[in-house]
Amino acid sequence: MAVATEETIRTVVQEVLAQLAQSGGAATVAKGDGDWGVFQTVDDAVAAATEGFEKLRAATLETRAKIVAIVKRICDEQAEELGRAEMDETRIGRLDHKIEKLKIVKLVPGVEFLRSDAQSGDHGLTVTEYAPFGVIGTITPVTHSLPTLAGNVISMVSAGNTLVVNPHPSGARIACEGVRRFNRAIYEETGLENLITIIEKPTIESAQEIFQHRGVRLLCVTGGPGVARAAMASRKRAIVAGPGNPPVVVDETADIENAAKSIVQGAAYDNNLLCIGEKEVFAVCRVFDSLMEAVGRHGGYLLNRDQIEQLTRIAFSPPEKPGGHAVLNRDLVGKDPAVLAEQIGVQVPAGTQILYGETDVSNPFVAEEQMMPFIPFVRCRDADEAIQLAKEYEHNYRHTAIIHSRNVRNMTRMGRLMDTTLFIKNGPCMAGLGLGGEGYLSYSIATPTGEGVTNPLTFTRVRRCVMVDDLRII
Ligand code: NAD
């Protein structure tokens, strides 16, 4: 057994003292009675996140970059285990994509996205800097519980903020586990605590408490229409990443093979859980039949009219009041194509990516955000009709729209009319988030409130610092 020398003992003691000094004198226990950032009440979580913010404020930008690197590293190295845990808990989507969505968290931009702007002139120098808000109330969806949380942490902490998270109740276990792992590693490497806090048993009431809490400076909400409305009705500034129902237009000039491949790739991803995912297709009659054949070659399984009717009856119930929305059967959300097919007595070949078939616009799969891998294809007279229908069934969410075309006028006309946050031409939906297209990744795309694909600058206050003097050197 090695005997510790006086020198090694001195080094160990110095390291312990340095750690204690960095953590403000606390021992290795997390503050605020939390369990590495996991709290039972909103008050406790906000208090701990406020204390975390004060410490982060005093830390260097290099420390923020280190925190971002830790979150990216954990998502990458532990993607398999965490992805599996998310799949086991939520029971929606596809395991391969749950894992991939964590692996690609490293593509979310961090501290390098921040910048300062300067203006010099006869009257001196003005510097514009991008400062943090403080504690951000964050709501995450069940469709990508941990990836959204991790992406939000990267954007928000890069900008110097801390978080109090109300996760979706059906994805809360994995969200809390992620927070524990992030916080523990952050503490070990930087001595900082409670930069991310989370409510262990989230409810609508705890979300409301966060919306109202005096200690919360800003809200960032990722979810469907209910939570988007609730956040915008609160008295706080809210960055809202709301629902979508992305239409795809295919005109007669499209590369049909590429269109079919792209539609299948986007719609099949995580069993069509993506808010940007292709949800319904409007194709002109001149290419309709060849498009349908091509989708079959790329992993689609074609359903006939009777089979579509049966599936529709299982997937939706009639509207609760006349003129209302068909009600989505949540039990089928995010299920495999084989599971949907089984419901109507159909066996599909292994490797089937999506189910698809021809419908008219009265089928609720067209109007509703189905979040399951059956894609309705609607036959249209011409590009004008296809674009008009795309506009109607996107419901002005202004989220995402896609066109496959080589006709620049059709592309431009559709882009203008749709007015969506993401408009993708000749690629799958994910090209809009830097995956096969140019640009960067985020899991929160702020649609009704207009901030777009969120990034660290989204979560900053713009501050101006002015010096009046004779500072020009030119
Ligand atoms: P959801 O609306 O059911 O839940 C989202 C979150 O909001 C959850 O944490 C939930 O607990 C909470 N919530 C729901 N109603 C609330 C209310 N009235 N008050 C306070 N909190 C409330 O959505 P989901 O099924 O988890 O996720 C899918 C939806 O989210 C889809 O509509 C999808 O388009 C959208 N989404 C959007 C983006 C984007 O970036 N724009 C990203 C992912 C998902």
pLDDT tens per residue across span 260-275? 999 999 999 999 999 9
What mean pLDDT is predicted for residues 53-72? 98
130 — pLDDT class (breaks 50, 70, 90): very high
User: Tell me, what's the pLDDT at 6?
Assistant: 53
Question: Is any ligand 1 atom within 6 A of the Cβ of residue 370?
Answer: no
Q: How many CB atoms lie within 10 A of CB 119?
A: 12
CA atoms of 265 and 401, how far apart (whole Å): 15
pLDDT at position 441 is: 98
| Per-residue pLDDT at 25 exceeds 90 | no
Tell me if 230 CB under 6 Å of ligand 1. Answer: yes
Question: Ligand 1: distance of its center to the CA of 33 in Å?
Answer: 29
Does the pLDDT at position 13 exceed 60? no
Least Cα distance to 109 among 424, 444, 463 occurs for 444
The single-letter DSSP state of residue 399 is -
Tally the residues of the chain. 474
Question: Counting atoms of ligand 1 from 1, which one is nearest the CA of 446?
Answer: 41
Q: Is 208 helix (H, G, I), strand (E, B) or coil?
A: helix
Residue 65 Cα to ligand 1 middle (Å): 29
Please tell me whether residue 467 adopts helix, strand or coil conformation: strand
Give the CATH architecture of domain 247-438.
3-Layer(aba) Sandwich (3.40)
User: 3 by DSSP, 3-state: which?
Assistant: coil
Residue-level pLDDT at 232: 95
The mean pLDDT of 341-350, rounded to a whole number, is: 98
- Res. 34: pLDDT tops 70: no
The rounded Å distance from CA 222 to ligand 1 centre is: 5
In contact, 379 and 329? CB cutoff 8 Å: no
Average of per-residue pLDDT values in the chain:
93
Task: Quickly state the pLDDT bin for 20 (edges 50, 70, 90).
Answer: very low
Of 434, 403, 443, 131, nearest in space to 270 by CA: 443
User: Per the confidence metrics, is the pTM higher than 0.85?
Assistant: yes
| Candidate of 155, 168, 212 to mutate for ligand 1, largest count of ligand atoms within 8 Å of Cβ | 168
Q: Are 242 and 207 in contact (CB under 8 A)?
A: no
pLDDT exceeds 50 at position 21 = no
The H-assigned helical ranges of 3-137 are 6-22, 42-58, 61-77, 79-90, 95-103
**Band (321; pLDDT cuts 50, 70, 90):** confident
Whether ligand 1 lies within 6 angstroms of the CB of 243 is answered as yes
Q: Determine the number of helices (DSSP H) and then strands (DSSP E) in the chain.
A: 16, 20
244 lines ligand 1 (CB under 6 A): yes
Residue 417: is its pLDDT beyond 80?
A: yes
Residue 109's pLDDT is 98
Residue nearest to atom 15 of ligand 1 (CA): 227
Nearest atom in ligand 1 to 166's CA? 9
pLDDT tens across 159-193, in order? 999 999 999 999 999 999 999 999 999 999 999 99
The closest alpha carbon to 162, from 459, 463, 440, 458, belongs to 459
Q: What is the mean pLDDT of residues 457-465?
A: 98
Query: What average pLDDT score do residues 63-82 get?
Result: 98
**Ligand 1 atom having least distance to the Cα of 399:** 41
Residue range 277-282: average pLDDT? Answer: 98
Domain 34-242+455-461 has CATH 3.40.640.10: no
Q: For residue 221, report the distance from its CA to the centre of ligand 1, in Å.
A: 8
Distance 139 CA to ligand 1 centre (A): 8
Residue 166 to residue 201: CA distance in whole angstroms = 9
Q: Which is higher by pLDDT, 82 or 15?
A: 82
- 223 CA distance to ligand 1 centroid (A)? 2
Alpha carbons 393 and 241: distance in angstroms, whole number: 19
Distance CA 23, CA 128 (A): 31
Proportion of the chain in helix, strand, coil states, percent, rounded to 5: 45, 20, 35
* Beta-strand relationship, 460-467 and 124-132: antiparallel
Q: Which atom of ligand 1 is nearest to the CA of 445?
A: 40
> According to the model, what pLDDT value does residue 172 have?
98
Ranges in the chain annotated CATH 3.40.309.10: 247-438
Q: Where are the alpha helices (DSSP H) in 269-382?
A: 285-297, 305-315, 337-343, 364-367
Question: pLDDT tens, 360-416?
Answer: 999 999 999 999 999 999 999 999 999 999 999 999 999 999 999 999 999 999 999
Q: By CB neighbour count within 10 A (0-12 exposed, 13-18 middle, 19+ buried), where does 188 fall?
A: exposed
- Is the pLDDT assigned to residue 2 strictly greater than 80? no
Q: What is the pLDDT of residue 8?
A: 53
Residues of each domain in the chain carrying CATH 3.40.605.10: 34-242+455-461
Asked if residue 448 has its Cβ within 6 Å of ligand 1, the reply is no
One-letter amino acid at 388 equals: Q
Q: Residue 31: which pLDDT band, with cuts at 50, 70 and 90?
A: very low
Q: Is 418 in the pocket of ligand 1 (CB under 6 A)?
A: no
- pLDDT tens-digit readout, 88-116: 999 999 999 999 999 999 999 999 999 99
